[in-house]
Each structure stands twice: as structure tokens, then as C-alpha cells.
Structure 1
Amino acid sequence: MTPAVGKKATGLIAATFTPLTPEGEINLAEIGPYVDYLLEQQGVKSIFVNGTTGEGMSLTVEERKMLAAEWCSKAKNKLENVIVHVGCMSLKDSQELAQHAGEIGADGIAVISPSFFKPATVGALKMFLQEVAAVVPAVPFYYYHIPAVTGVHLRSRDVLEGIDAEIPSFRGLKFSGSDLMDFGQCVSYSPSHWSLLYGMDEQLLGALAMGANGAVGSTYNYLGSSVNRLISAFNKGDLTMARTLQFQVQDILCYAMDCGFDLAVNKQLMSEVSGLVLGPPRLPLLPCPQSKAVSIARKLKQGTLLGKGEPCGGSVEGQCDANLTCLSVTLGGDKEETPRGKVCSPPLAPGCVPCSGVQCPRVRRTCPGGHVTEPCGCCPQCARQKGQVCGGPSWENGYCDRGLTCTLFTGHSPALPPHTGVCKVLPGKPLERLLQPMEDPLCPRVSGCNIRVGYCDCYSLQTCHHVFFYPSLDECLKAKREDELWSERNEENREWTCMKWGCELQENQCVCMERSCSSPSLSEDACEDLLQKARCSNVSCSEVPVPSCPDDSFLTESHIPPGKCCPLVPAVCTCNFEECPVAPQNCPPGQLVQHVEGGDGRPGSCCNRYQCVQS
């Protein structure tokens, strides 16, 4: 039988606990609620059952079959992957469990090395694995490496050598060891359709850097939401946030270890956090004193980092992630509603209000400069250009393009809300940085990726400008693969269709989309001009005289707010600091530079003036 490819296992995979009654019998009734808890509360979409955390080696073959069947039944159409561990001391028992896993529709099986009579060589271990996999050749097969438990310290990289020829259904490795060199060598050797799953929760970030596809662990049962954010931060290139979240996991585990952390404590902790009734462990493990688990659960809840948009404050336990603040927001989109709650949000820039009370204008596809999101983080928009109005309450008049600063109409000071200003170059701004994605202390920190010289370059930057083409490493790699596949296609087989971005006026609005080049359409500017003329055809605006500006100044554009017909801010003269002379770098011998006139930033006296005088 040809082995099925199956769904590739990625992301977080919870190593599930086995629910038992107080008498130590299997408690199948808790499995349905357990699946829902993982999915809804922790964002975990895959599970690894009957493994070390599930006390698989303390269960009978029949008990393991009952559990595997119930997990698969309750996870159907909810979870992405159910991987069933079928390893036993007996080859025959392992084969029986593997056969059963195939019959109940498991998404994969995993096998641990026998640990009583241990395989002495890599060849012996691979023969055992091959015998189990051969029973169900259509089910994806994973080797489960956990040397601290089995005492089998054969290098995983050696086990993987040629294994796809011996076990065609082989699809990956659950690596529960601390040897990152061995793990890295496994990643380096592995083809793209394998899953390299790391099993040491406290070292996950290091494994991700090595190239892990996902992780299997017990703490993801109750720390899944935090670790999902860790993976997301890593994929976006935000290593500062990823380290913060990894340190949080380590702090909790260190505290737990000081309290005497073992599987019994871990199981009781899951019960305390989730509210599930998981029962005691099976002998020879002893039940955990409840006080231990309660103490660790309290530490866990106090240290829980809440993500963007999650409720916070009041009776909610935990604190907002770094770069987030617990802010009040209006509940619902209606401005008339008064009930308020608190959620974790990016800290508000000076003069900003929560975005729930802001109505954003339509985002244009094409802009003269580029797209920005003002410091309040609410509205994507076209960057304002030189001479255009900016700032205002909550930055409602827009934010300036790269190299320009929203400046008061007179003087040298930046315009901060609620003041309105004009975009221009301030004195002292180096021209070579005008086209660079500058760090801006007024703006939120954003993360993302760009493709540079064939590689995905991911980093974070404090900026209002849209400097990233891809929001995450996954999106960047996907786009890179698509580009590579496209370039590999035969040029003769490509069918080109000429498309353009165009608009048409429909019922008092501009409707813009990709259109065939042969279809008549308007540019966004032309469509907006027609819409403005139609809307304002019967409106008369007061005439405002246009001033004549001195040589050191230029005339700003008048500003008509969206949806209005008449200028709210008239055209005025403002200093053109780019034209100001600079102080002489060198004077003739015996002379010094002297500041002879101070510019105050007002038209007619914008610039400082210098001359060389006798020393």
C-alpha cells in the first residue's frame, strides 16, 4: 500500500494527560471537554495521546485503545492532528496498538524505543520501528526520542539516516532531548515533508531558531496561548518578544521545580488551571498534594501575559504583553453606548483616543509617497506630502511621509495633537535618511519581513510607515516559494492577462478593483475629483485670498477634510528650511564663522545667516 502523505504536523501539539477516576480507572467523560478547552482556551489544534504525559506505559493495551478511540472521536472535525503513541516494551503490543490506531483514523502514530531490553545499535532500533510501521503503511509514522526516560542515547541524526527508504510512511521526529546539536543535524538532514517536533518546553525558542516545525509538550495544555504568541513573535522576527515569553515559561517551570515538579504535580496543575477533573496519576506515581498545584497555578496566573485585544484589569488575572497597555474601550461600535471594559492594547500616542471611537476613511490603493498608519494605530492612509496639512486631534489630518515632519506653520517645533501642522523638512534632518524607514518614537513598534537577495529578512521597527511586505516569516516563505515555482515554469506555457487597478463612479462612491486593461476606468485621483465635484456642485465656499510668500518660504496646500466641500485650513506661507544656507565649513585664513542673523522660523526671517569675519 502506498503511504499517505497525511496532514503535516506543525505548531503546538499538547501531550495530553489521561483522565482517571479517584479509583484509578479510565474516565472517558472528560475527554470531550478536554478537547474543547485546548481549542477554545489555549488555541492548541493538535494532540499527542498516550505518551509520557499520558502515562501510556502504565496503561494496559485495552485501556490505550479505549483512550485513543475516544480522543479521535471527540477531536474529529475540531482538531487538526491526533498522533497516537503506540510504543511498548513488546513489539507485538506495539503492532496491535498501531493496527488499532489505523482503524480509528488517527492522523499519525509515534513509537518510543523499548527501554527494558534496550536496542544496542541504531540498526536494532530501526528494525523495531520498521516492524511497527509496516503494520499500517498508510499512517504517518514518527519516531519518539526521549533519552532521559528510555536510557537510549543513540543519536537521532543516525536514526534518520536512510529511514525514508526503510519506512516509507516516516513523517518526522518528536525530539524530547536537550542536545540541540543533534536536533539541528536532524533538521539539516530532513526533507520538507517531515515534521521536526521539539519536546523540551523550556528550550523551544532555541529549537525554533534551529528550524523546528512545531512542539509537543505537557505545559502547552495550560500555557498554549502564551507559547502560541511566542511562536508568532518568532515568525514575525520579534525576538525581543519571543525571548520575553520564553523566559516567562522558564520562570514558571523553575518555580514549579522548586516546589517538586513531577508528572503528578503537572497533572494536578492542569486540573487547577482548566477546571477539568483529571484525577490522580497511576501507581507507582503518588498523588500530588493539592497545595503544591494551587501554589504553582497562582504563580502561573499572576505571570500570564495577555495578548492584544484580550480583557484585562479588574478581576482578570495576568498582565498585558510587553508593548501593550490595559486601556478602556467602548464596548460595541456605537458611539452612543456607554458601557466600557478594558483590553490589552498598544499604548496610546500623545493626543490619541482608542480606535473603537474612530471612523477611518477609505484606504487608497495608490499613493504619491507611501502608506502609513498614524501614531494612534487606527487608520491606514496615504502619507501626507510636503506642503500638506497633518496632525490635528488624534492625527485626524494625517501623518507625514518619510523624511518629513509634521511642523507648526511658524517656528521650528513639531506639531503634536491637538495642533494642526504642515509636512516639511526640519533643519538638521540629514538628507541621506529621507528615504530610509526611520525609527519614530511617536509610532508603535511593528514587525514583519521582506525578501532581500533571495532570503526573508525579518525584524521589528518603531515606525508609522508600511515598510514590510509580509506580516510574518510564514507568509514571506510562502511568497518566496510561490515566486520560485513561478520562475521554474516553462515560459511558453504562461498565459498573461493584462490587468490594471481602476475605478468607476457608482452611486456617490468610487468603486476600485483590478480590471482588464481593455476595460474603461478612472484613476483613483480622477474618480475622487469627479466625486468631489458632484457632491459639491451646489456648494459655495467663501473666497480666501492667496498670500504671496517671501523667497525663504513656500505656499502650503489648503486642506479639505474628507466628505467636506470647503477648505478647513487655507493655504498659508511657511518656511522652506531646505533652502536655508548652512554655516561655512571653512573660512579664509585669519577669519572665523560668525552668526550674524537668527532665523525665527517665520516667513521672511526663516533662516540663520552666517559670514566669515576677521578673527
Structure 2
Amino acid sequence: MPKFRLQGLIAATYTPLSASGCVNVDHVAPIVESLIERGVSGLYVCGSTGEGMSLTTDERKIVAEAYVQAVKGRVPVIIQVGHNSLAEAKDLARHAQDIGADITSATCPSYFNVGDVHTLVECMEEIASSAANLPFYYYHIPSLTGSNLNMVEFLKLGGERIGNLAGLKYTDTKLFEFQECLELENERFDVVWGCDEMLLGALATGSRAAIGSTYNIAAPLYQRIIDAFEIGDMAEARREQAQAISMISTVKQYPFHPAMKAVLEMQGFDMGDCRLPQGRLTDEEISRLRSELEAIGFFTWSLPATPSLTT
């Protein structure tokens, strides 16, 4: 399979749920239009942000189809298919290929720990081969899976065994390992950054693409970081990154994904609550979160710049 490269900001999308907790795909199209309008260059569906692990296999298929249909080929759609059951993951991968998704990605099984690189490669080989016509990215997120294996070793062995292995979604903070993965075998693999608070550091290390939750609510802010970095204005890039850190720190005072869904509702997108065990914020918490975001200017600088009028 030829080299595949993602570019720019890829939003890890939320799954809209109704008041009763059911998947509500009617709200997918509006958020897709907003994200594309604000410069997002891809969507990552049913990952941690999208509560993939809290959805049934049938629900995950419904959500995947809704996002693929709403995007209409304008940007790449990546479907996260990881599951504790490899059979279910393989089924989800086949489905993603059948509905016209562009890429599959998967976490490793996490209830029974994946303790060595050979086992991890074997698991990912089974999943990736079920959608062999699509590029495959392993989703490395040790904070949630508990699998903190060496990703350089995974890529070396995976590159031999998995024919459609394109790279990694690297959701960790080890910039040194991230750089080593990027540069491995003459930049053979596409390694995509996954920690929003450290985007600027990742750019300096060589990142060309990043997948993140907060791109849903502040993509223009992150695009300004990229723009400033690309023209060498490091002072401005650091200033914008500091705003992103302030925003994330504010949201993280609360259960993160329920708070993010609350912020999306403040921006006009009804994504509902999160499923248990995550749940929802109280009305008092939502009010306090809004006030705290207003205090740091979030509702101004998270939006696209308004074009100046000339006469």
C-alpha cells in the first residue's frame, strides 16, 4: 500500500445522544458542517471522545455511517474499531470499509492486558486485515488501555506483518518517542499527534497532523498555532498555545467529556449527555463552566476571526 499522510487538524468527534441516552444521528450533519467550515481536515469517529467503548457494535455502525454520509467525501473519515473482542473489532473494520470510510484505526484489547509487542502486532494484524483496502492506524493511548509498549518496536514489527499499516494515532506525551516513530525507516509511517495541550511541541518535533477532542470547540485557535509556527512567529504560536492550555485546564476541572459536550451545547450543538460511567454535569456546574470560559475570553478567541470591513 502506498504511503498515506494525514494533514492538519482532525477532530475526534462526539456521538450525539438523545435525552433518553439513545444515539441521535440527526445532530451529526450540523456539527460536521461546522467543523469543515472552521478548517478541520478530517474526522476521527467512535474513539475515546465519541464514547466508542460505551456503544454497542450496532450503534457504532450507525454512528460511523452517519458521519461518512454527512462528510460526503470532503475530508477523510477515520473509524475507530477497537474492541475487547477481536471478532467484534473485525466486524466493525469490515463495516467501515463497506460504507466508504477512508481509514480504520483501533485501540488494543484492554481488559486482558497486551503485554508484549508481538501480541499487539498479532491483534492489530487481525483487525487491519479485515479492511485490507484501507490504511490502518494503531491507536496508542496507554493512559486508557494500560498498554505502554514501545511504539518504535511496534512499527518495526508491524511494518513487516501488517500490509496496510499506515501509522499511529499517538496519544501520549513522549515527544522523544513520537519523533523516533516519525523518523523511523526514512519516515515510512504517518504518526499523528494526539495531545492537544502539546500541539506546538509536536509541530516542532515534526508533526504534520493532529487528532484531538478540543478541535471540536476551538479549531480556529489551533489553526492559528499552526499558522504562526509555519511563518516562524514563535512568540505568537506560544501565546495561542497558552490560550489552548488555559481552555483545557478550565474544562478539565470537570469530568472532561461531559464538560466538552456542555461547551458544544453552549456553541449551539445538541450532543446530549455522556453515557455512564461518565454521565453529565449538573446545571450548577454548567453555569460555572460557562462563567469560567467567559472569564478567559474563550467565546471570542475560539471562533474564526471576523473579516475586517473596508470602505
TM-score, length-normalised on structure 2? 0.93
Partner of 2:145: 150
The letter for the 2-side match of 1:266 is: M
Q: Compare CA radii of gyration and give the structure with the larger one.
A: 1
Partner of 1:23: 20
The whole-number CA distance in structure 2 between the counterparts of 1:305 and 1:82 is: 24
Are the equivalent residues in 2 in contact too, given 1:19–1:27 (CA < 8 A)? yes
Residue 153 of structure 1 aligns to a residue whose secondary structure is coil
Greater length-normalized contact order (CA 8 Å, ≥ 6 residues apart): 2
The whole-number CA distance in structure 2 between the counterparts of 1:16 and 1:166 is: 30
How many residues are treated as equivalent by the alignment? Answer: 307
Partner of 1:239: 234
Report the CA distance between 1:138 and its aligned residue. 0.9
The whole-number CA distance in structure 1 between the counterparts of 2:186 and 2:89 is: 27
Change (3 A) 1:124 1:243: same
Q: Pick the aligned partner of 2:101 from 90, 97, 106.
A: 106
Change (3 A) 1:295 1:63: same
Report the CA distance between 1:140 and its aligned residue. 0.5
Report the CA distance between 1:241 and its aligned residue. 1.4
Pairwise mapping of residues 47-196 of structure 1 onto structure 2 (< 5 A)? 47-78=43-74, 80-189=75-184, 191-192=186-187, 194-196=189-191
Are the equivalent residues in 1 in contact too, given 2:10–2:40 (CA < 8 A)? yes
Do structure 1's residue 284 and structure 2's residue 273 form an aligned pair?
A: no
Report the CA distance between 1:162 and its aligned residue. 3.3
Do structure 1's residue 46 and structure 2's residue 39 form an aligned pair?
A: no
Residue 329 of structure 1 aligns to a residue whose secondary structure is coil
TM-score, length-normalised on structure 1? 0.48
The whole-number CA distance in structure 1 between the counterparts of 2:302 and 2:56 is: 39
Are the equivalent residues in 2 in contact too, given 1:8–1:195 (CA < 8 A)? yes
Partner of 1:420: none
Change (3 A) 1:88 1:305: closer
Change (3 A) 1:272 1:97: same
Provide Cα deviations, 1:397-428, integer angstroms capped at 9, x if missing partner: xxxxxxxxxxxxxxxxxxxxxxxxxxxxxxxx
Are the equivalent residues in 2 in contact too, given 1:272–1:297 (CA < 8 A)? no
Provide Cα deviations, 1:477-520, integer angstroms capped at 9, x if missing partner: xxxxxxxxxxxxxxxxxxxxxxxxxxxxxxxxxxxxxxxxxxxx
Are the equivalent residues in 1 in contact too, given 2:4–2:166 (CA < 8 A)? no
The letter for the 2-side match of 1:228 is: Q
Provide Cα deviations, 1:357-386, integer angstroms capped at 9, x if missing partner: xxxxxxxxxxxxxxxxxxxxxxxxxxxxxx
| Structure with more helix by fraction | 2
What is the identity percentage for the equivalent residue pairs of Structure 1 and Structure 2?
36
Report the CA distance between 1:195 and its aligned residue. 2.1
Report the CA distance between 1:45 and its aligned residue. 2.3
Are the equivalent residues in 1 in contact too, given 2:28–2:70 (CA < 8 A)? yes
Name the Cα RMSD after superposition. 1.8
Partner of 1:263: 257
Report the CA distance between 1:302 and its aligned residue. 5.0
Change (3 A) 1:15 1:45: same
Pairwise mapping of residues 602-613 of structure 1 onto structure 2 (< 5 A)? none
Could you list the runs of 4 or more consecutive aligned residues of structure 1 that deviate by over 6 angstroms after TM superposition? none
Change (3 A) 1:193 1:292: farther
Report the CA distance between 1:148 and its aligned residue. 0.6
Report the CA distance between 1:235 and its aligned residue. 1.6
The whole-number CA distance in structure 2 between the counterparts of 1:306 and 1:66 is: 30
Partner of 1:329: 310
Q: Give the gaps of 5 or more residues in structure 1.
A: 312-326, 331-615
Residue 310 of structure 2 aligns to a residue whose secondary structure is strand
Q: Give the gaps of 5 or more residues in structure 2.
A: none
The whole-number CA distance in structure 2 between the counterparts of 1:222 and 1:192 is: 31
Change (3 A) 1:190 1:55: farther
Residue 169 of structure 2 aligns to a residue whose secondary structure is strand
The whole-number CA distance in structure 1 between the counterparts of 2:42 and 2:299 is: 27
| Structure with more strand by fraction | 1
